Amino acid sequence: MKSIKKLSQFSALALSVSFGSAVMAADDTIKVGVLHSLSGTMAISETTLKDTVLMMIEEQNKAGGLLGKKLEPVVVDPASNWPLFAEKGRELLSKEKVDVIFGCWTSVSRKSVLPVVEELNGLMFYPVQYEGEESSKNVFYTGAAPNQQAIPAVDYLMSEEGGSVTRFVLAGTDYVYPRTTNKILEAYLKAKGVAEKDIMINYTPFGHSDWQTIVSDIKKFGAAGKKTAVISTINGDANVPFYKELGNQGVSAEDIPVIAFSVGEEELSGIDTGPLVGHLAAWNYFQSAESDVNEEFIEKWQKHVGNEDRVTNDPMEATYIGFKMWAKAVEIAGTEEVDAVRDAMYGITVSNLTGGTAVMNTNHHLTKPVLIGEIQDDGQFEIVWQTKKGVIGDAWTDHLPSSSKVVADWTAPINCGNYNIETSVCSGQNYE
């Protein structure tokens, strides 16, 4: 009996030591969730962002981590399955107990995980251009709002410098981001005097591959004697056959320029860009931006992936900015706890990759420059236009009547993501 009792005491002691070590290990670690599709139609774009987060974590750990703790990545694959984003988000917050999430690309994936992040008071950084009409207490939006991409792109196309375009094709993937963005753009174009008959709108499903008929229709629409352009919100791997078909049918940038909101260096790296020279994209960053910090970032990225040919792109910069801001906020707050980090985020600044400064505003959107780039035959973009200074991201567009009266401000006295300035009512976090 004595030996059994001693063994029991020894086991209890061992268990206690083991448990104590586990607690200590957990206390010495800050968990970072990575919620990006590594398979499916969006893997072409999102895998790169997963690798960007891992690079940032590795760099931060080499510099000593945060608050004396190492950062531990927790990577999951929602597989371009929108409901699965919610499930994987819950897994990261409830099971893995991550302190922050960097993730999502499409708006439908973000909206899927949004109620989970809000319910569990998580913190998520969303790094991709989107349609606006949202400001969550639990999300920081480091990609472009419509007034930082879509609206300036239209203004550029309508200017003499951009070709004095008067006829527009709004071509998008069939989900919330293209539909809402095009709703805003249609209202904006009409307010600028563009007739309804001069606006063609077309949607295709994710992964769409047969573009022959659609490109033919675009050619016909552009043959009406008015300067025509395509504004593209086509997402994911559907861009590859779309641009190939443009080349097949001889649609040149001189005839009908395409300006894309979801095509960057990564997407172009998979296709022959020769026939696409002159087509455009609107972003807040291009790899070709000339700055010391950008050169350093490109060098680190290519070294991290072990490939000197790997490109960078805008959502990578948005991920970089978000991560740098979060790390800085953790240091300022002295804790990784969500509420304290959120409060420390407002007004925080970090260097962007174009040589300027990114600022986080109280509506959870950044101040960012807007750049228009022209596709070159090497798959890079030549910057042909940019704003003179940073543009403050507008969570609620001025170009829809229902949104023009709404503002977002997560500081007192408003402390609301959709506050109606006419009725002085906060509608709460209820998003369509």
Please confirm whether the linkage preceding 78 is cis (ω < 30° from 0): no
What is d(CA 109, CA 141) in angstroms, rounded to the nearest whole number? 14
Question: Domains of the chain, with CATH numbers?
Answer: 24-145+291-367 (3.40.50.2300), 148-290 (3.40.50.2300)
What are the E-state strand segments in 151-257? Answer: 167-173, 199-204, 228-233
pLDDT at 243: 87
| Helices 314-333/338-345 angle, 10° precision | 110
Residue written as tokens 């030549």?
Answer: 382
pLDDT at 16: 41
| HSE-up of residue 316 (Cα within 13 Å, Cβ side) | 28
pLDDT at 153: 97
Longest dimension (CA), the chain: 100
Cα distance from N-terminal residue to C-terminal residue, the chain: 67
**Angstrom distances, CA of residue 216 to CA of 165, 262, 334, 413:** 20, 22, 59, 54
- What is the value of pTM for the model shown? 0.89
pLDDT at 343: 97
Q: In the numeric block, which tokens belong to residue 52?
A: 């960007």
| HSE-up of residue 306 (Cα within 13 Å, Cβ side) | 0
pLDDT at 291: 97
Residues of the chain with pLDDT under 50: 1-25, 429-432
